[in-house]
Amino acid sequence: MPRIARQSIDQVQAAADLVEIVGHYTRLKKSGANYMGCCPFHEEKTPSFSVNPGEKLYYCFGCGEGGNLFSFVQRKENLDFAQAVEHLADKYGIALEYEETSAQGEAERRRRDRLRALLERATAHYERRLWDDRAGAAARAYLDERGLGADVCRRFRVGYALPGWERLRDAARRQGFTEQELLDAGLVVTGRRGGVYDRFRDRIVFPLADDRGRTLGFGARTLTDEKPKYLNSPETALYHKSEALFGLHNAKAAAGRDDRVYVVEGYTDVLALVQAGIENVVASMGTALTEQQLKRLGRLSRELYLCFDADAAGVGAMSRALNLARRLGLSLHVVRMPEGLDPADYVLSGAGAQGFRELAAHSETLLQFHVRLALESNDLARPDGRAQAFAQLKGVLAEAATPIERDEELRTIADRLHLSEESVRYLLSASSGAGGARSPAPAGSAAARAAGPAGAAVGGVHELEVRFLAGCLALPDKGRDVLGGLDEGVFASAETKAACRWVKARLTSADAGKNEDSVDCAPDAADGVSGVVAEVVLRSGRERFTVAVVDELFLRLQEAQVSRLIARLKAAAGTDETGTREAKLAELERVRRRLREAVRSLPVVDDSIEGQGPGT
């Protein structure tokens, strides 16, 4: 793929508003020079997520997640760096320029651009046929009968494919598109005798868009007895059924604000709920949720509310979703609809948004749903019925989420089966580790730094190094003085070494009279250090630093380096017949004692008097 030109990346960096972008996922409030809110990357009740609007950096003091403008979009939208830049360029109306690339790569980019343009033209074509063509009267009547108004249908760009075999094909040809492009976009089908004809005919058409609202494919419902009732686009270079979620682009902002997503089965369920005022809803276009769909939903919220039919297909889909959700760290809830009603029928029957929200308020966790189903589907008055329920529940609890949730359900099961809790605990005998094992935290993460003595040691060094750099940034004169001749070897990790280089460059830039908010000072999104830089910048504005504090941090930083050298020498294998190692150890121990004495001898300074930090 072609590389985006550096000047275009800089334009996007300058134009984009990180506060606005983050605000789609969590509520932010002004706090001094920064903004604070609950972290969009983990669950919390007390806000610990900080955004620096000038530097366009973010950092969570709870989970340690941090980075810059581009890394935030990458994480939340599951995009690579180039896609994140393109996403923001599209949002802020910036035309990107690309560097010279291979002919093959350029040809592929142009091909995908042509397919996007064709799909956009097809969407507009179907829209016109629905609203402006007499032949669209039956489709309009169907939507009206379902209670779906023109406003919500136009908002989701619902359209109509005419009954003819060549309507779209001929319209696209007149606009300069080829048969091969129509095939590649999934809009036509090859006939038995050659040639192509329209895939969608006499159907209401629902555009399937990406999270930026760009059409990737279509789902279509027949207005006749033609089979299948619903027909989707085939797999293409742009459309992948396993990832598709109808309404995702519309649901993002509301999902961030409410920290939940409602997942329904069909297009009309989404339209009806949005029309009623519930925006954070998507359709899986069937009951089978895939891992790719769950991952995409998980980036909007960890709280997913499933509104599926309680038939065999729906129950089976929710069983599979339970396994996937447990692995992905998602919390699934089941909203029980009244018998015989889907979400669209329910809200349009007069219950409205309030009635739907009340159903959601009484939702079950997916574990509760499966426990209730196992208990209700067996005759508990008969010994063989209880035995059958016992066997089903054993499998259900083996897939449970947390020990606390399992214990709550154990009490429910014990009561319904007329057994003691001790007897019911037998259900877990074959799954002693269920729900208890956790994947190891990523190396360098806040969780990893907090895990175990070794983790605590690493976490302590990281904390020390970040606070030292934050102090240097908060007190520019002191920072330039301390960092001027500092050897990077004093830092333990590559990330904090790189962050040190960034702080030095920032202080040098400020000393030279350059604009501190210039793009040149922004951490490179591609170098993997933006998270540490964000932590440094946001700590510098949040904590109060004095010259004495920076002096102490500098001494402790040197002490930590000496301690690492001592540990390496002690761990060195082999014998040292010359005594060189012992001499080095003795010298290093003397240096460490001097540093510790220097820390103890530092004067205690009233930080209400001294310091250049914020507020002084």
Q: What is the CATH number of the domain that holds 133?
A: 3.90.980.10
- Percent of the chain exceeding pLDDT 70 equals 82
Q: Among all chains, which residue has been given the structure tokens 């007897």?
A: 423
Contact 302, 329 (CB under 8 A): yes
Tell me, yes or no, whether 79 and 132 share the same domain: no
pLDDT of residue 313: 57
- CA 140/CA 131 separation, integer angstroms: 8
Residue 38 lies in a domain: yes
Tell me, yes or no, whether 387 and 461 share the same domain: no
Residue 594 lies in a domain: yes
Q: What is the mean pLDDT of residues 364-384?
A: 80
Tell me, yes or no, whether 462 and 413 share the same domain: no
Contact 306, 263 (CB under 8 A): yes
pLDDT of residue 282: 96
pLDDT of residue 360: 93
Q: Which residues contact 420 (CB under 8 A, 6 or more apart)?
A: 414
Tell me, yes or no, whether 456 and 592 share the same domain: yes
Q: Among all chains, which residue has been given the structure tokens 């682009």?
A: 249
CATH code of 73's domain? 3.90.580.10
Backbone φ and ψ of 140, nearest 5°? -65, -40
Question: Between β-strands 303-306 and 261-264, what pairing exists: parallel, antiparallel or unpaired?
Answer: parallel
Tell me, yes or no, whether 579 and 458 share the same domain: yes
CATH code of 540's domain? 1.10.860
pLDDT of residue 572: 67
What's the pLDDT band for 287 if we cut at 50, 70, 90?
low
What's the pLDDT band for 40 if we cut at 50, 70, 90?
confident
Q: What is the mean pLDDT of residues 98-108?
A: 72
Residue 98 lies in a domain: no
What's the pLDDT band for 609 if we cut at 50, 70, 90?
very low
Extract the tokens encoding 291.
């891992």
3-state helix, strand, coil in the chain (%, to 5): 55, 10, 35
pLDDT exceeds cutoff 80 at 579: no
Residue 148 lies in a domain: yes
Q: Residue type for 534, please?
A: A
Residue 263 lies in a domain: yes
pLDDT exceeds cutoff 50 at 443: no
CATH code of 380's domain? 1.20.50
Domain final residue pick, 180, 209, 238: 209
Provide DSSP, 115-175. HHHHHHHHHHHHHHHHHH-GGGHHHHHHHHHTT--HHHHHHTT-EEE-SSSSHHHHHHHHT
Cβ neighbours of 612 (radius 10 Å) = 14
Tell me, yes or no, whether 86 and 122 share the same domain: no
Domain final residue pick, 31, 58, 92: 92
Tell me, yes or no, whether 296 and 334 share the same domain: yes
As a residue count, the chain comes to 616
The count of structural domains within the chain is 5
Please, what sign has the CA dihedral across residues 613, 512, 500, 599? Answer: negative
What's the pLDDT band for 433 if we cut at 50, 70, 90?
very low
Extract the tokens encoding 431.
């799954």
pLDDT of residue 358: 94
Q: Residue 166's domain spans which residues?
A: 103-209
Closest residue by Cα to residue 53 from 423, 594, 436, 537: 537
Q: Which of 161-165, 249-253, 365-369, 461-465 has the lowest mean pLDDT?
A: 365-369
Q: Residue type for 515, please?
A: N
**Helix/strand/coil for 565:** helix
Domain final residue pick, 26, 57, 92: 92
pLDDT of residue 449: 36
Tell me, yes or no, whether 149 and 175 share the same domain: yes
Q: Which of 223-232, 313-322, 348-357, 529-538 has the lowest mean pLDDT?
A: 313-322
Tell me, yes or no, whether 543 and 596 share the same domain: yes
Q: Which of 84-93, 139-148, 170-179 has the lowest mean pLDDT?
A: 84-93
What's the pLDDT band for 215 if we cut at 50, 70, 90?
very high
pTM for this entry: 0.62
The pLDDT tens digits of the residues spanning 295-316 come to 888 888 889 999 886 555 556 6
Tell me, yes or no, whether 346 and 470 share the same domain: no
Extract the tokens encoding 1.
């793929």
DSSP structure class, residue 62: T
Tell me, yes or no, whether 454 and 596 share the same domain: yes
CATH code of 284's domain? 3.40.1360.10
Tell me, yes or no, whether 34 and 78 share the same domain: yes
